[in-house]
Structure 1
Amino acid sequence: MPHDHDAHEHDQPRGHAACRHNHGAQHIYVYSPSGAVRDKAAFRRGVKRLQALGHQVEVDADALASHTRFAGDDDTRLAAIHRAAASGADVALISRGGYGLTRLLPRIDYAALARSVEQGMRWVGVSDFTALQLALLAHTGAVSWAGPALVGDLGAPGEPDEIMLACFEDLLSGQGEGSGWRLPKPRGQAASAAPALSDELYIPQARLWGGNLAVLCALVGTPYLPAIDGGILFLEDVAEHPYRIERLLTQLLHAGILARQQAIVLGQFTEFRLTSHDRGYRLQSVVDWLRAQVGVPVLTGLPFGHVPTKVLLPVGAQVSLSVEGRDALLYWGHVH
């Protein structure tokens, strides 16, 4: 379920993430392809923070438009995407996620977006943005970036998360080469159920893809889900009860998508509430179930999702994955 929220301390993933911090003035184009921006103060904070870091921020003419729950009607949001592609900016950054991009997928000029990527533009976003990322990958093979949104991340109250900001600055400066994190300690049957939790795992090359689980599942059976064999699939979601997460994963399992990957990497699944009916069924139950179904490694704890601490991930890029003990690393600086 794609969603925006004010992230809280307890949502932060366990372990650590690693990104180097670099600086360099960039032209950032902010646009709204999905939900309407309701928190104008957070929007202004995000713009000011990017400017304070020395970047030039260009705000799309309809970034604060509103039409029912959307940031303008379909034509308005479609035009904003195409203006972003034509802006010549270094980064196209969504204001927020929510819902709305799947409505636009048949009408997007993917060739124009791919040309902007060839010219050096990085498209960055999270949540509902998964739909655009995967459609772009399916139609053109172009790489985009799973990362922060302006309102929920860069415009959040207080100081932005240091790791998220460092990874974003890495992207802006062209220095990002990978992201590392610490795998959670095995609990219950997970230790014996998971081939991924052996001491070592190394995948020398695979295409990284994924994003929001609910949005990705909504693309199954459409021309907008890339057909990727031997990839590394990363997934996150918010406000979905564990049984719903399992049901979404079951759809990918029955569609044959999970078995075709070299690894599945689970990010953060947050903001759900267990009930008395669950009787011990929880998120770890889903992870254990998934590991029993698929013959590929399932890693957890990736610092990505609807949480303050999020790394940036190149969707569609060739990456390597290594695990030694509980130290996991996705890296792409060496892969051409």
Structure 2
Amino acid sequence: MSHIYIYSPSSAVRDKAAFKRGVKRLQTLGHAVELDTDALSSAMRFAGDDATRIAAVTRAAASGADVALTSRGGYGLTRILKDLPYKAIAKSIERGTQFAGLSDFTALQCALLAKTGAATWAGPAVIEDFGCEGIPDDIMEACFDDMACGQGEGTGWTVPITDARYLQARSKTGDLRVRDATLWGGNLTVLCSLVGTPWMPEIKGGILFLEDVNEHPYRIERQLTQLINAGILGRQKAVVLGAFNRYKASPHDKGYKLQTVVDWVRTQVKTPVITGLPFGHVPTKVMLPVGQKVELLVQDRQALVFWG
């Protein structure tokens, strides 16, 4: 089906079995898989030293593949943002290579968008998604195949009843429609680390989507507060929240939870905030075109994002 180039720009691949499962699964789906020469390199916690990972990104841009897919996230890209070959990546995207990933990959996506305006894809990674134990999520695979074949036109989901009530309180119809807005965002922690740097896109009137993992709700609130105080949330036409998972509640919380955070943020900005986006560190994961113009429609409890 597609030529997929797998590289490791962030943390080292420790789970070799999951990596092999991911590669095999992609091949089983009919894709031709090419591995970067340093895909399994390791230097401390990273997938090779900084120079090695910069070279890996450069090779991915020169690969001519249909899709350049990260092996995993973790941490490492913010260390090398100043030295990445942005023009080469943008040219490879113009030639048809789609760069895809999530989590730490948010740093590269935002920096590339800020520097060149080039669009990438928020989506799966080899180990977490294709290399999981058992059968990978069929929606994730279908969305990935649509992207790889150039057939994806949008995605939809059902918002929680609390969102429907919130939107009803905002307008008589309870509907939300946003047209011609740039979709951008990704991992909340990574995005916050870019505030005040040249790698943070200056998007006004966009649709900002966010997700995170292993972060307690109070930490999520603290980071969202950073985006509020920086004026970033208030400049958007909509904020869409994906999965925030794998954290542990504390007895100290006394009823404070993720919904508390969402409710509070909604009182701080006029920008509509909706939830339930199937994206993040979860099995069911859609593909999202970062940097593309999209349309968002929420009607009753059905949310749709179009970019076809």
How far apart are residue 193 of structure 1 and its match?
A: 9.4
Residue number among 106, 119, 123 corresponding to 1:143 in the alignment: 119
Is 1:295 the counterpart of 2:295? The answer is: no
Is 1:31 the counterpart of 2:7? The answer is: yes
Letter of the aligned partner of 2:50 in structure 1?
Answer: D
How far apart are residue 299 of structure 1 and its match?
A: 0.5
Compute the TM-score of the two structures, normalised by the length of structure 2.
Answer: 0.98
- Is the contact between residue 194 and residue 291 of structure 1 (CA under 8 Å) also seen in structure 2? no
Is 1:204 the counterpart of 2:179? The answer is: yes
How far apart are residue 199 of structure 1 and its match?
A: 2.4
How far apart are residue 306 of structure 1 and its match?
A: 0.4
- Is the contact between residue 159 and residue 302 of structure 2 (CA under 8 Å) also seen in structure 1? yes
Which position in structure 2 is the counterpart of 1:116? 92
How far apart are residue 204 of structure 1 and its match?
A: 1.6
Q: Distance in 1 between matches of 2:94 and 2:211?
A: 28
Q: Distance in 1 between matches of 2:91 and 2:13?
A: 28
Q: Distance in 2 between matches of 1:197 and 1:124?
A: 39
Percent of residue pairs bearing the same amino acid type: 64
- Is the contact between residue 182 and residue 301 of structure 1 (CA under 8 Å) also seen in structure 2? yes
Which position in structure 2 is the counterpart of 1:275? 250
Which position in structure 2 is the counterpart of 1:226? 201
How far apart are residue 109 of structure 1 and its match?
A: 1.0
After TM superposition, the structure 1 = structure 2 runs for residues 98-109 of structure 1, keeping only pairs within 5 Å, are 98-109=74-85
User: Mean alpha-carbon deviation: is it higher for 139-148 or for 270-279?
Assistant: 270-279
Letter of the aligned partner of 1:64 in structure 2?
Answer: L
- Is the contact between residue 194 and residue 292 of structure 1 (CA under 8 Å) also seen in structure 2? no
After TM superposition, the structure 1 = structure 2 runs for residues 177-256 of structure 1, keeping only pairs within 5 Å, are 177-186=153-162, 191=166, 195=170, 199-256=174-231
Give the SS at the match of 1:228: coil
Residue number among 133, 145, 158 corresponding to 2:134 in the alignment: 158
Q: Distance in 1 between matches of 2:173 and 2:259?
A: 18
Give the SS at the match of 1:132: helix
- Is the contact between residue 167 and residue 311 of structure 1 (CA under 8 Å) also seen in structure 2? yes
Is 1:133 the counterpart of 2:109? The answer is: yes
After TM superposition, the structure 1 = structure 2 runs for residues 55-134 of structure 1, keeping only pairs within 5 Å, are 55-134=31-110
How far apart are residue 233 of structure 1 and its match?
A: 0.2
Letter of the aligned partner of 1:157 in structure 2?
Answer: E
Letter of the aligned partner of 1:140 in structure 2?
Answer: T
How far apart are residue 195 of structure 1 and its match?
A: 3.0
Higher relative contact order (CA 8 A, sep 6+): 1
- Which ranges in structure 2 are unaligned for 5 or more consecutive residues? none
Is 1:265 the counterpart of 2:264? The answer is: no
How far apart are residue 52 of structure 1 and its match?
A: 1.1
Q: Distance in 1 between matches of 2:265 and 2:171?
A: 12
Q: Give the total of aligned pairs.
A: 308
Compute the TM-score of the two structures, normalised by the length of structure 1.
Answer: 0.89
Q: Distance in 1 between matches of 2:186 and 2:195?
A: 14
How far apart are residue 155 of structure 1 and its match?
A: 0.7
Q: Distance in 2 between matches of 1:274 and 1:54?
A: 42
